[in-house]
Amino acid sequence: MRAIILAGGKGTRLRPYTTLIPKPLVPIGGKYSILEVILMQLADAGFTRVTLAVNHLANLIQAFFGDGRRWGLTIDYSMEETPLNTIGPLTLIDDLPENFLVMNGDILCDLDYRRFFEHHAASDADVSVSSYQRDVKVDFGVLEYDAGNRLTAFREKPDYHFDVSMGIYCINRRAIERLERGASYGFDQLMIDGIARGHPISIQPFSGFWLDIGRPDDYSYADEHFAEFAGRFPFLK
């Protein structure tokens, strides 16, 4: 099984932490970088090869992770000369297998990556998306009104529930072969174009532990409480 990790972003949401180091190397719990945890997790799940799609401060990432042997992996690198968004970097990789895992390099979760991959490979989906339910509280009174500006509904500080992408996907090679090589292209475009053209996209809901470390609040939580949830990852013991 092969995984491609998107590690080329500038990490602007995490400044000043990412002023001098790339986001995947930002430490959590004073012991590991987030990308280290991901690599150990993938190796534990049976993945053998990982491609890191890099751009910003790529030399630091390459110097730290090398060829991956420390984690029992074969690591190679795909370099973006210019930022290509989230899906565009995949068009630069010439030896994509039929199915592969793609994920952001700032995700901390206890998803069963092997099971997710195998479920996708057994399906006919172009893309499988791991989803998570997020609750969003609005700290204002929400108004609804008709075309004549007459109030039709009012909700005080409501909670909304959304199924969001976790930044973890499995993709069939054909979905990438349709795209222009080296052109900027995002996950949002992949979803919108897929719906418009009738391409099969599967959603796999997940209800376990998930944090997007690219969000400052989630990063702070992960850093402060790392010892508490490290037990979810047996390979960290």
Token pair recorded at residue 189: 């475009």
CATH architecture under which domain 2-129+164-236 falls: Alpha-Beta Complex (3.90)
User: Please, what's the b/e burial string for 137-170 (b: 16 or more CB within 10 A of its CB; e: otherwise)?
Assistant: eeeeeeeeeeeeeeeeeeeeeeeeeeeebbbbbb
Looking at residues 44-57, what average pLDDT do you find? 91
For residue 178, name the pLDDT band (cuts at 50, 70, 90): very high
Cα(149)–Cα(152) distance, integer angstroms: 9
132 pLDDT exceeds 80? yes
Q: Where are the alpha helices (DSSP H) in the chain?
A: 34-44, 58-65, 113-121, 173-177, 187-197, 216-224, 226-229
- The two beta strands, 27-28 and 127-137, are unpaired
Average pLDDT value over all residues in the chain = 89
Given this model, what pLDDT does residue 20 score?
60
Token pair recorded at residue 140: 């204002």
Given this model, what pLDDT does residue 50 score?
97
120 pLDDT exceeds 70? yes
